[in-house]
Amino acid sequence: MADYIATSTLNGEAILQKELAELGITESKPARGKVIFRASEEEACRAAYFCRTARKVLMPVRSFRFSSKEDFYEGASSVEWEEMMDISRTFAVRVKGEDAVLRNSAYSALLLKDAIVDRLRDKKGRRPDVDKEKPNTMVQAFLEKGRVSISLDLGGSLHKRGYRAESSPGSLNEALAASILKFCGYCGEEPFLDPMCGSGTIGIEAALIAGDIAPGLLWRYEKGFFSLPFIPADVKRTIPKMAKERVRRPAFSIAVSDIDGRAVRTSMNNAKRAGVAAFMKFREEDFFSLRPEDGGGLMVSNLPYGDHVESGTDLESFYRSVGDKLKRDFMGFRAGLLMGSAELQKSVGLYAFRKVSLYNGSKEVRLCLYELYEGSRKAGKGESRQRFS
């Protein structure tokens, strides 16, 4: 057993912690933008392969203090890289953070790369090649106040599944979309609809959840723990086998639509790359003329805000119309709306029973969850809770 780190979107730590628990990893502790968990090597590899809401799953290698560039190089080159890396595979180094000694992350990455390469050349007689775009092995380091923490990445950039060859303005990364669905309580056991789908990320992630398709099944090249020589061969063999055996056909509809035909085509192409297009329905239609085919379920959408709004758009009026449409035609549904601000949320005119602040890139956004029922409904200990305001 050892300590590992799974990184998440800010404020998505609790969702990630719950997802780890569902994988059998119960000894964990959330921190800002990450969850530190204790697990076996095999469990950590499973987390990298199965987690939908993690951005990265990291295996800490060494942490040390340094007061000069020479200290940093010596500390990094003292790691037994020859036991951890396969010199026949490509690798890359990423460094985040800076301090008084190493102010430039690109230079820090170069220094770390040199330490690794020099150690491997000395111990193995040759060095692995660098591939910055699609490395088999990724070494991740974090700098802060004279200390560096170095880790091996067990899965690469998990928030980039590889199916989004096409995107639209304001698109969500895949891990954020999965987090939103988890916050909405989606597990594939009800109809799903995204009526303003853009590039289709939310709908595709819903299809992956409904089909119990592990994100690792979408990896397009050998990376992460598959490239690490110390990970047992049976672990590398049984994890994908386990994932394939879990795949199922969704029992409920997963529909996406958009007023923009190009967005619908983009969604369909991305879904094909993800292998879930056969599970989904695609329609070119304006949200305000759409009538949901199902009498209930979950509707989730990333509403226009920020820099993906056409010039001259009256957002307050648009959001008010969205609220009116939900009240009129979506009775029996739960709705999750991602929007740009608390002020816009007020324009919807519905009571949100849950609000979550998240980040789409560097922009803070708000996820509001609604239960669409006529009048009022009992809530909690006999309290009445008005759904519309």
Predicted local distance difference test score (pLDDT) of residue 226 = 98
Confidence check: pLDDT of 282 > 80: yes
**Segment holding 142, helix H or strand E:** strand 137-144
Question: What order do you get walking across the sheet with 34-39 strand by strand?
Answer: 28-31, 34-39, 2-7, 56-65, 147-153, 137-144, 91-96
Closest listed residue to residue 226, CA positions, set 215, 238, 211: 238
Query: Could you tell me the pLDDT band of residue 375, with boundaries at 50, 70 and 90?
Result: low
Report the distance separating Cα 86 and Cα 37, nearest Å. 26
Report the distance separating Cα 87 and Cα 351, nearest Å. 57
Report the distance separating Cα 305 and Cα 42, nearest Å. 42
Token pair for 134: 């699609």
Predicted local distance difference test score (pLDDT) of residue 389 = 27
Predicted local distance difference test score (pLDDT) of residue 125 = 95
The partner residues of 336 in beta bridges, in order of sequence, read: 300, 369
pLDDT digits (tens, 9 = 90+) for 178-206: 999 999 999 999 999 999 999 999 999 99
Confidence check: pLDDT of 371 > 90: yes
What is 174-212+248-386's CATH superfamily? Vaccinia Virus protein VP39 (3.40.50.150)
Residues present in the chain in total: 389
pTM exceeds cut of 0.85: yes
Amino acid at 354: R
Predicted local distance difference test score (pLDDT) of residue 7 = 98
Confidence check: pLDDT of 381 > 50: no
pLDDT digits (tens, 9 = 90+) for 211-231: 999 999 999 999 999 999 999
Domain residue spans in the chain?
2-153, 174-212+248-386
Side-chain-facing half-sphere of 215: CA atoms under 13 Å: 28
The partner residues of 92 in beta bridges, in order of sequence, read: 138
Beta strand 147-153 with 137-144 is antiparallel
Amino acid at 142: F
CA 1 to chain centre: 26
Q: For the residues of 68-134, what is the DSSP string, one character each?
A: SHHHHHHHHHTS-HHHH--TTS-EEEEEE---SS---HHHHHHHHHHHHHHHHHHHHSS-PPB-SSS
Contact by Cβ (8 Å): 28, 37: yes
Confidence check: pLDDT of 311 > 70: no
Token pair for 133: 């775009």
Predicted local distance difference test score (pLDDT) of residue 377 = 45
Provide mean pLDDT across the span 264-276: 97
pLDDT digits (tens, 9 = 90+) for 333-352: 999 999 988 888 999 999 99
The CATH number fitting domain 2-153, selected from 3.90.226.10, 3.40.50.300, 3.40.50.1820, 3.30.2130.30: 3.30.2130.30
Predicted local distance difference test score (pLDDT) of residue 100 = 81
Report the distance separating Cα 209 and Cα 251, nearest Å. 12
Contacts of 106 (CB under 8 A, 6+ apart): 95
